[in-house]
Amino acid sequence: MSTTPLFNGTTNPLKPEVAIVGAGIGGLLLGLLLEQIDVPYHIYERATTVKPLGSAMSLGASVLPIFEQLGMLEELKSFSLPCYSAEVYNEKIERLGCFDMSDLDKLLGTYNRIFARPRLYEMMLNRIPIQKISHGKKVLRTDEKDGRVHIHCADNTSYEADILVGADGAYSGVRRSLYKRLDEQGVLPETDLENFTIASINMVGVADPEEPEKYPQLKDEFCHFSIVVGGSGGLSWGAVSVPDNQICWSLVIQLSDSDAKAMQFRNSEWAPESIEAMYKQFEDVRCPWGPVTLGEVMKHTPKDRISKVFLEEKLFTTWYGGHTVLLGDACHKMLPGAGLGAVNAMHDAVVLANAIYNMTDASPTSITGAFEEYYGQRFHRLDDQIKRSKSLTAVMGGEDQNFIKSVEYRPQVAWLPLIPNRGTGHVLAQEGQRELLADKHKRLQEEEQQQDNSVILSQAKAV
């Protein structure tokens, strides 16, 4: 098995070389941030091509300032719609209530923006240099030796770096290897070896209806967010309007404890497989918009935009060890009800990038310090976030205080000017060391000049 340096031998003792496993939202954002601060990185993705799957996605005040810092907010707005409300129906399509979000702009400084998840992938991928992503790289195992972390892939290749970031999803190969090493050392908590709690099956997609005039909701310049709850067998479904006459749809089946246990080892990630039976079973349920069925919406969805997945949750206690650190679903998998999974993966990426930015060198001590800073800022927030991800129904019923509190936390990029709070709501203070990139460059140049002057003075005295 060959071992390939990740960075062509161009090393800088002050900057760690970072290998990111997983080209999901968290991994891509981390790559974008490291690109800004000239930290060498490479992204390894197990799929042969990145196929962004999923349905509607919502980003609000807790994340949008990051995209504004990066100069990406206007592009995000171009493929998204503001969401002013979410309507809830029963299976007879009788309106049960409405979660009013029309005052969020005043309170939080922005409305939530709703869009098709693949569009966010596309925007982020376009900003990653093509040579910094390798596809078809399924990680079989990792190990650490000689002060480096080594990645061994199924295609008989191997790579090494100073830092390995496992952003490879709920069934992370990076986490599995890390936990194996820690368990052998007797330092891994038993709870981290327990299985996920499976709660439901979800099938989602993004449709291109042939006759968009059937859906008057698509004409509006704001998002229509409609969800049907209380169906037989724990069934719920929904439809969301996004730009370009597209409809994001979802179908969720809640599982009993016995069904969940039976399916424990039959999970499939976001991939277009095992969908035909589920489609036929529920194609006749009514769409919340007008007389059409959900099946009619689904049949106008390209196959590569449909995915089925079991939804689980688990907060892992251990996020790092040695030169390896975890991010996103690899260390905290949550249900998608409140849309917090992707948001928290992005928060992870920002805080981890900030910690790497503040490293003084690429030594093991600095690496451990960065991981400790990242974990210290993020872990204690996740238990509360996982609880909130369960409570969408209560939130939709009007109990919005949990939602408002969840967006008080808005981590931003440490080396860029902060985006101010434009709403009346409370925002938590930024954590960690902050120094603008230009100021850091100036400080380092001055320190280098002072060292040179000291050397010259010493030499003069010696003469």
pLDDT category, 3, cuts 50, 70, 90?
A: very low
Q: In the chain, how many domains are there? A: 2
The answer to whether position 446 is within a domain reads no
Q: What is the pLDDT of residue 390?
A: 59
Q: For 208-233, give the DSSP string.
A: --S-GGG-GGGGSSSEEEEEEEEEGG
Pairwise pLDDT comparison (275 vs 319), residue with the higher score: 319
CB 83 within 8 A of CB 98: no
In this structure, are 7 and 36 located in the same domain? yes
- Partnered with residue 153 across adjacent β-strands are 139
Question: Which of 15-24, 51-60, 389-398 holds the top average pLDDT?
Answer: 15-24
In this structure, are 55 and 124 located in the same domain? yes
Last residue of a domain, one of 271, 304, 337: 304
Q: What is the pLDDT of residue 270?
A: 44
CATH classification of the domain holding 22: 3.50.50.60
d(CA 158, CA 136): 13
Burial call 145-174: b when 16+ CB within 10 Å, e when fewer: eeebbbbbbeeebbbbbbbbbbbbbbebbb
In this structure, are 352 and 365 located in the same domain? yes
pLDDT tens per residue across span 228-249: 987 666 788 899 999 999 999 9
In this structure, are 220 and 298 located in the same domain? yes
pLDDT > 70: percent of the chain: 86
Around 364, how many Cα atoms within 13 Å sit in the side-chain half-sphere? 9
The answer to whether position 60 is within a domain reads yes
pLDDT tens per residue across span 161-206: 999 999 999 889 999 999 999 999 999 999 999 887 766 788 889 9
Q: Domain residues for 64?
A: 2-80+112-195+313-406
Closest of 436, 419, 338 to residue 36, by C-alpha: 436
The answer to whether position 422 is within a domain reads no
Look at residue 428 and tell me whether its pLDDT is greater than 80: yes
In this structure, are 338 and 209 located in the same domain? no
**Which residue has tokens 């008080």?**
408
Q: What is the pLDDT of residue 425?
A: 86
d(CA 116, CA 118): 6
In this structure, are 177 and 31 located in the same domain? yes
In this structure, are 24 and 45 located in the same domain? yes
The answer to whether position 433 is within a domain reads no
How many helices (H) and strands (E) would you count in the chain? 14, 20
- Partnered with residue 83 across adjacent β-strands are 112, 223
In this structure, are 7 and 121 located in the same domain? yes
pLDDT category, 139, cuts 50, 70, 90?
A: very high
The answer to whether position 101 is within a domain reads no
Look at residue 267 and tell me whether its pLDDT is greater than 60: no
Q: For 363-378, give the DSSP string.
A: SHHHHHHHHHHHHHHH
Mean of pLDDT over the chain: 86
